[in-house]
């Protein structure tokens, strides 16, 4: 094996816990049963790596085999790195008829300049049947960089594409290939990014338990009641039930997709009456508000359901699930309007 194949293999093995290495190598199906039994998975990683490299050289494995192992690792561990969502638009009439074989052919043919020299397209054998694409970028003056590949995940006949580790200079070429292969007219930024591909996919493809308004849903209104009122217990119970209903309608039923952040970029004017210097300022105030949590949607739902946040839920927060985004730009409508910011947009 060459130096690049050895580096890729070394990086893969070092990422995996010792207890999981054996299962991954079995799924790879490139080492014999005797070679797998000869490996001692309790030894230090560097020793395991050396033995695997020796077996690969014995079997005359090349870079193609090693990149296949890396792809298997990413399919089995999708929540690695940072993923960005893109949305396909302007679907052609025959877009719903695109199959895996046709997608592969069109994707490869859409690269006339041969910018990416090493390309692997594989359909994952999971229930979602996602298409996984690995691209090692190179050109006429440099070899493909297999240490920093781009990964693309697409579910056929959906409008979403998930991308990881894509440099800006390569974006136009990848977008062109995706548009041609999926038979769409354009592709745009989905304004959704997260470290969890699973959470992103569940949110956009609605693979979580949604709660819809029912006939009894209504906005809770506070009432002034005496503590001695005989119905105070039932009234509190009704308010609690309505808060729970509102929170689930906005953020889904637990467990929700595990997004970690939501970012709001503000471009607004000061609206207070106590400071004319600020209120007369023509330029926008610019700032960024970031919500962070190990499970942001669950945290927001708890705030509403417990009464920590007043209902109804503001559209600026419910838009995370309704619009499938976690990045928003909030602008002011200009002079003469109310202090309410305009709807989030990208």
Q: Is the pLDDT of residue 128 over 70?
A: no
CA torsion 98-100-103-109 (nearest 10°) is -140
Rounded CA gap, 5 and 335, in Å? 61
Q: Are 104 and 121 in contact (CB under 8 A)?
A: yes
Strand partners, 129: none
Q: Predicted confidence band at 237 (pLDDT cuts at 50, 70, 90)?
A: low
Q: What is the DSSP string of 32-83?
A: -HHHHHH--TTS-HHHHHHHHHHHHHHTT--HHHHHHHHHHHHHH----S-E
- Separation CA 162–CA 190 (nearest Å): 9
CA–CA dist 303, 244 (Å, integer): 10
pLDDT for residue 213: 64
**Does position 226 have pLDDT exceeding 70, yes or no?**
no
* Mean pLDDT value across residues 237-254: 72
- pLDDT computed for residue 261 by the predictor: 92
For 303-317, how does the pLDDT look when each residue is reduced to its tens digit (9 = 90+)?
888 777 777 888 888
pLDDT band at 338, cuts 50/70/90?
Answer: very low
For 132-152, how does the pLDDT look when each residue is reduced to its tens digit (9 = 90+)?
A: 999 888 777 778 888 889 999
On the question of pLDDT at 230 being above 60, the answer is no
% the chain with pLDDT above 70:
78
- Per-residue pLDDT at 6 exceeds 80: yes
Instruction: Please give the radius of gyration of the chain, using alpha carbons only, rounded to the nearest integer.
Output: 26
pLDDT at 154: 92
- Range with the poorest average pLDDT among 77-81, 92-96, 251-255, 342-346: 342-346
pLDDT at 90: 92
Fold of 83-204: Double Stranded RNA Binding Domain (3.30.160)
Q: Is the pLDDT confidence value at 220 over 70? A: no
pLDDT, tens digit, 9 for 90 and up, residues 275-294 = 666 666 777 778 899 999 98
**Domain extent listing, the chain:** 3-76, 83-204, 233-331
Angstrom distances, CA of residue 114 to CA of 119, 278, 296, 341: 10, 55, 42, 47
Kindly provide the residue ranges of all beta strands, DSSP E only, lying in the chain, ordered along the sequence: 83-91, 116-123, 131-137, 150-154, 160-164, 184-194, 261-268, 285-292, 327-331
Pick from 116, 99, 101, 186: which is nearest to 151 by CA?
116
How far apart are the C-alpha atoms of 231 and 238, rounded to whole Å? 11
Given a cut of 90, is residue 327 above it in pLDDT?
yes
This prediction has a pTM of 0.81
Asked whether residue 219 carries a pLDDT value surpassing 60, the answer given is no
Share of the chain above pLDDT 90, in %: 31
Question: Residue 207: which residues within 8 A CB-CB, separation 6 or more?
Answer: 201
Classified by CATH at the fold level, domain 233-331 comes out as Ubiquitin-like (UB roll) (3.10.20)
Average pLDDT of 178-191? 92
Q: Looking at per-residue confidence, does 337 or 301 come out higher? A: 301
pLDDT in tens, 94-125: 888 888 888 888 888 876 555 555 667 766 65
């Amino acid at each position: 094996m060459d130096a690049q194949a050895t580096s890729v293999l070394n990086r893969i093995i070092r990422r995996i816990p010792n207890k999981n290495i054996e299962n991954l190598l079995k799924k790879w199906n490139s080492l014999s049963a005797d070679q797998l039994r000869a490996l001692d998975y309790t030894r230090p990683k560097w020793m395991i790596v050396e033995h695997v490299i020796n077996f690969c050289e014995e079997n005359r494995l090349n870079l193609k085999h090693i990149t296949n192992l890396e792809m298997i690792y990413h399919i089995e561990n999708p929540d690695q790195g940072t993923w960005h969502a893109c949305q396909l638009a302007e679907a052609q009439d025959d877009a719903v008829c695109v199959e895996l074989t046709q997608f592969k052919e069109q994707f490869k043919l859409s690269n006339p300049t041969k910018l990416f020299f090493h390309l692997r397209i594989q359909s994952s054998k999971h229930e979602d049947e996602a298409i996984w694409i690995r691209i090692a970028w190179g050109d006429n003056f440099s070899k493909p960089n297999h240490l920093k590949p781009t990964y693309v995940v697409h579910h056929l006949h959906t409008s979403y594409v998930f991308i990881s580790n894509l440099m800006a200079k390569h974006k136009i070429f990848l977008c062109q290939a995706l548009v041609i292969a999926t038979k769409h007219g354009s592709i745009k930024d989905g304004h959704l990014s997260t470290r969890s591909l699973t959470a992103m996919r569940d949110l956009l493809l609605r693979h979580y338990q949604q709660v819809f308004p029912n006939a009894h849903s209504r906005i809770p209104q506070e009432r002034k009641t005496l503590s001695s009122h005989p119905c105070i217990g039932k009234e509190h119970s009704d308010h609690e039930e309505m808060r729970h209903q509102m929170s689930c309608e906005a953020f889904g039923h637990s467990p929700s997709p595990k997004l970690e952040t939501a970012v709001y970029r503000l471009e607004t004017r000061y609206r207070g009456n106590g400071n004319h210097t600020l209120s007369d300022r023509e330029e926008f105030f610019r700032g960024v508000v970031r919500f962070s949590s190990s499970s942001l949607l669950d945290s927001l739902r708890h705030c509403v359901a417990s009464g920590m946040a007043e209902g109804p839920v503001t559209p600026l927060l419910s838009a995370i699930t309704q619009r499938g985004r976690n990045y928003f730009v909030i602008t002011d409508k200009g002079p003469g309007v109310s202090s309410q910011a305009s709807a989030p947009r990208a």
